[in-house]
Structure formats: structure tokens, C-alpha cells
């Protein structure tokens, strides 16, 4: 038979180990191991002398690499030993010359059921890890991705981040949401910052990471919040939505009710978290984008340079309630924000007098509204404004966020 003659001629010319030969018929009777298939093929073509002479170090295609499979499997398990995971994906990087030699052999016999050496390696290693760990193979979104680099004899494990969502409350002022580099040394460290490199001693991000990261034994954490309050603004009421991304976690099965309780006990009176839960990474972008449209409620303490009568207070309420204001990027953030005019809706306003020149104002407005500038006018960059309506210079003495509305898909 011409096909058998071609195979026999191939084996005379090229030394092939049983696995590399059997792999050319990989999808024919796929339940039979490739090594056994190779033996069968050699017997069928009458290449009897090669049956008991399978010195795989001499194989033309793999040059003995195929013998490393079990050792590589053990190396993978050793790398995975420090991680908790329920799913995984394995990929291999092969020397180009191995793949080229395999293509050369195929061009001589045109096998219709062949698979590449990468397929055999990946399938073997998939089964090896599955049998030893009982984890499942997930080629779309695994907990761990394992890359085997054959040329460099290395195994690299890439761990999927854990993302925790919730809301935080900030009960004190003068804590930034994220760390600020010292304005004097730009983060290098100097006397002004007590050699910390930070403008403020700590931040919401620092506090959350310091409390939560040890539970997961992660490399680091990153805070992603739905909006940002000023350093001197408290966040009360419903709290601000946030996600905390844990990079390279070793632990994944952590009880978040315990984490939430411990965070609140540790930072009582400073910050508080609630509603901690696991979410997927897409949730990070949803929090950031949808918070721009969420309704937010603020409580501001406003002080005027002159006494204000009741008629003027009513005028402020009437002009701002339901108003669409025009806000040009405030001067205080112009160095880091695009200079443009934003249109923002003020849904509701109420005012409670404190003294003849001071009052508390509750504002319900569209996300992204610069409330301090809505009060001061920011030299005419926000119109209308409390200052503009009163015709007086006013300042925002204190500001609190007292409610941030839910967004699509959020569960409080």
C-alpha cells in the first residue's frame, strides 16, 4: 500500500519517537495514548526493529522534549502550591525549530488526524493538573494562567485579580481618597513630610489596603472609586461606591463579612465600609462611568461676608432648584482637568439659617457637580451660583456628601 510504504520510508529516513509518530494520528481513536499509537503504526508498517528501540532523545521532531512532560507537570504543581484556585488555563511556548520540523514531517505524509506538539503538551498538562488538584479547565477567565516556556525551562503563573465592591464612609476630614505625593519633594521624602513622601499621613486607599490585603496575601491593592471627594469633605449617609482590586492574591476564599467587621472595628470613627462583596473586573469601569450620572446629595455650611435676609435665601432656593448650571472647569483643578464647560442639573435645594450670615444648604444634584464652585461662583466660571444670586462674596466653610444614589446593577 502506497501510504504504508510512505510511512515506512519516513521512519527509515527520520528517527521519530512513538509519541511524535502517534500524534500524526491524534484525532483517530483519541482515547488511545499517542505513545501506544506510535507503536501500533510502527508494527503495521513492519518497522519492527523500532518498536523496542524508542530512544526518544534521538527523535527528529522533539529531540526528547516529550520526555519532560511529567517533570513539567510537577513543576507546575509546585508553582501552584501557594495559591488557592478553582480554575486554570495552561499554555506552552515552543522553540520555533521544533514546530518547523513537525511541519516538515507532516508535509511528507499529509496526515488528516494530526495535532501539534503544543496540543499534546497542553492536553497532557491539563489532565495532569486536573487530576492532582481537582480544579477545572477554563480557557476564558481562569483563576490562574500557567505559561510553560520550553526554551527557557520556566513556568510562569499569572493570577487573576480579586475585585471587591462596597461603599465607604469617611467620618473625618483631611484624609485624601488616594495617596498624594509631598508637594515639597514630589514623593522622594523630606523634612516637610517627615520623610514619608506623602502630603498626608494616610489615605482611604492606604487604610483599606492595609486592612484587607493581608486576608488575601496579595502583592498589592488598587482602589477604584465612583467619584472623588475633596480632602476636607466627609462622606456620610449611604457612602461612596468603590472597588478594591487585589493583585496576585494567594487566597481567594475569604469571608467578606469577617473582613467588613474587622475593617470597621480597626478604623472606628475614621472610615467605615459596608456591603462588601465579590464582583468581576468589568464592575470597575461600571462604577466609574455610571457614578457620573448618579444623583448625589450634599450638605454645605455657607458663610457670607454680610448679613443675609430671608428674601435673599428664598431667592437662592428658587433660582437653583431645578436649574441647569454651566460650570467651567474650576481654577483649583484646571492643572489636571480638561478646560471645558459642563452642564449640570440641580434637582433640589433647601436652606436652614444658622445665623445672620451663615446657613446650611442641602443640595441634590447631578454627579460631577463642583459644589464648592456652585456656592462661590469661582470668579464667574459657574453660573448661576449662590454668590452670584446674592450679589455677595460667600464661602463654603464645610461640605459633606450625605447620599450617593444607586447605579444600574448595584446592590447596596
Q: What is the span of the domain harbouring residue 368?
A: 295-404
User: Which of the listed residues 106, 133, 159 is the one where a domain comes to its end?
Assistant: 159
Whether residue 21 sits in one domain with residue 138: yes
What predicted TM-score, i.e. pTM, was given to this entire model? 0.85
Least confident of 17-21, 112-116, 363-367, 380-384: 112-116
pLDDT digits (tens, 9 = 90+) for 12-32: 888 999 999 999 988 888 889
Are the C-beta atoms of residues 247 and 285 closer than 8 Å to each other? no
In a domain, 271, yes or no: yes
Res. 412 pLDDT band, cuts 50 70 90:
very low
Q: What distances in angstroms separate CA 21 from CA 60, 96, 333, one per listed residue?
A: 10, 19, 68
pLDDT one-digit tens code per residue, 105-153: 988 887 778 899 999 999 999 999 999 999 999 999 999 999 999 999 9
**CA distances (Å), 59 to each of 23, 153, 198, in order?**
13, 19, 61
Q: Is the pLDDT of residue 4 over 80?
A: no
pLDDT computed for residue 30 by the predictor: 84
Among residues 245, 264, 290, the one where a domain terminates is 290
pLDDT, residue 408, reads 58
Specify whether 66 is located in the same domain as 208.
no
Domain membership of residue 409 (yes or no) is: no
User: Is residue 47 included in any domain, yes or no?
Assistant: yes
Task: Quickly list H helices, 88-203.
Answer: 96-109, 117-133
Give helix 204-216 / helix 256-266 axis angle, nearest 10°: 140
Q: Please write down the HEC assignment for all residues of 18-41.
A: HHHHHHHHCCCCCCCCHHHHHHHH
Question: Which of these three, 144, 159, 174, is where a domain ends?
Answer: 159
The residue with cell 511556548 is 93
Q: How confident is the model at residue 53 (pLDDT cuts 50, 70, 90)?
A: low
In a domain, 98, yes or no: yes
CATH number, domain with residue 386: 3.30.70.3190
Residues taking part in catalysis: 230
Instruction: Assess whether pLDDT exceeds 90 at residue 391.
Output: yes
Instruction: Write the CATH number for 193.
Output: 3.30.70.2510
Cα distance between residue 281 and residue 82, in whole Å: 23
Same domain? For 303 and 363 the reply is: yes
In a domain, 58, yes or no: yes
Same domain, 14 and 44: yes
β-sheet bridge partners, residue 271: 170
**Is residue 80 domain-shared with residue 170, that is, in the same domain?**
no
Number of domains in the chain: 3
Beta carbons within 10 angstroms of residue 64's beta carbon: 12
Is residue 207 domain-shared with residue 184, that is, in the same domain? yes
- Same domain for 129 and 258, yes or no, is no
Amino acid at each position: 500500500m502506497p501510504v504504508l510504504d510512505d510511512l515506512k520510508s519516513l521512519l527509515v529516513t527520520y528517527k521519530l519517537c512513538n509519541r511524535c509518530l502517534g500524534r500524526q494520528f491524534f484525532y483517530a481513536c483519541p482515547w488511545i495514548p499517542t505513545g501506544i499509537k506510535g507503536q501500533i503504526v510502527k508494527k503495521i508498517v513492519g518497522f519492527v526493529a523500532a518498536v523496542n528501540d524508542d530512544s526518544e532523545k534521538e527523535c527528529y521532531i522533539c529531540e526528547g522534549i516529550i520526555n519532560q512532560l511529567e517533570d513539567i507537570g510537577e513543576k507546575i504543581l509546585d508553582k501552584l502550591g501557594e495559591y488557592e484556585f478553582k480554575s486554570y488555563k495552561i499554555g506552552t511556548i515552543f522553540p520555533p525549530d521544533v514546530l518547523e520540523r513537525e511541519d516538515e514531517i507532516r508535509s511528507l505524509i499529509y496526515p488528516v488526524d494530526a495535532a501539534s506538539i503544543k496540543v499534546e503538551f497542553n492536553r497532557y498538562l491539563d489532565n495532569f493538573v486536573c487530576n492532582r488538584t481537582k480544579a477545572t479547565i477554563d480557557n476564558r477567565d481562569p483563576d490562574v494562567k500557567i505559561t510553560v516556556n520550553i526554551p527557557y525551562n520556566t513556568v510562569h503563573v499569572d493570577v487573576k485579580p480579586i475585585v471587591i465592591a462596597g461603599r465607604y464612609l469617611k467620618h473625618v476630614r483631611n484624609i485624601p481618597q488616594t495617596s498624594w505625593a509631598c508637594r515639597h519633594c514630589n514623593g522622594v521624602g523630606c523634612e516637610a513630610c517627615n520623610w514619608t513622601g506623602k502630603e498626608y499621613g494616610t489615605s482611604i486607599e492606604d487604610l483599606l489596603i492595609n486592612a484587607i490585603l493581608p486576608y488575601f496575601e496579595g502583592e498589592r491593592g488598587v482602589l477604584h472609586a465612583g467619584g472623588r471627594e475633596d480632602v476636607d469633605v466627609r462622606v456620610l449617609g449611604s457612602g461612596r461606591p468603590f472597588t478594591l482590586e487585589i493583585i496576585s492574591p494567594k487566597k481567594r476564599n475569604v469571608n467578606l463579612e469577617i473582613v467588613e467587621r474587622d475593617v470597621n472595628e480597626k478604623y472606628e470613627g475614621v472610615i467605615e465600609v459596608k456591603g462588601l462583596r465579590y464582583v468581576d473586573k468589568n464592575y470597575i469601569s461600571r462604577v466609574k462611568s455610571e457614578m457620573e450620572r448618579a444623583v448625589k446629595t450634599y450638605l454645605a455650611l455657607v458663610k457670607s461676608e454680610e448679613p443675609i435676609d430671608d428674601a435673599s435665601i428664598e431667592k437662592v432656593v428658587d433660582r437653583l432648584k431645578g436649574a441647569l448650571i454651566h460650570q467651567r472647569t474650576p481654577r483649583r483643578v484646571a492643572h489636571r482637568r480638561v478646560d471645558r464647560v459642563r452642564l449640570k442639573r440641580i434637582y433640589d435645594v433647601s436652606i436652614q439659617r444658622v445665623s445672620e450670615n451663615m446657613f446650611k444648604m442641602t443640595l441634590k444634584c447631578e454627579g460631577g457637580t463642583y459644589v464648592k464652585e456652585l456656592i462661590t461662583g469661582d470668579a464667574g466660571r459657574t453660573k448661576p451660583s449662590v454668590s452670584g444670586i446674592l450679589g455677595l462674596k460667600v464661602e463654603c466653610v464645610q461640605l459633606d456628601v450625605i447620599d450617593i444614589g444607586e447605579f444600574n446593577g448595584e446592590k447596596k
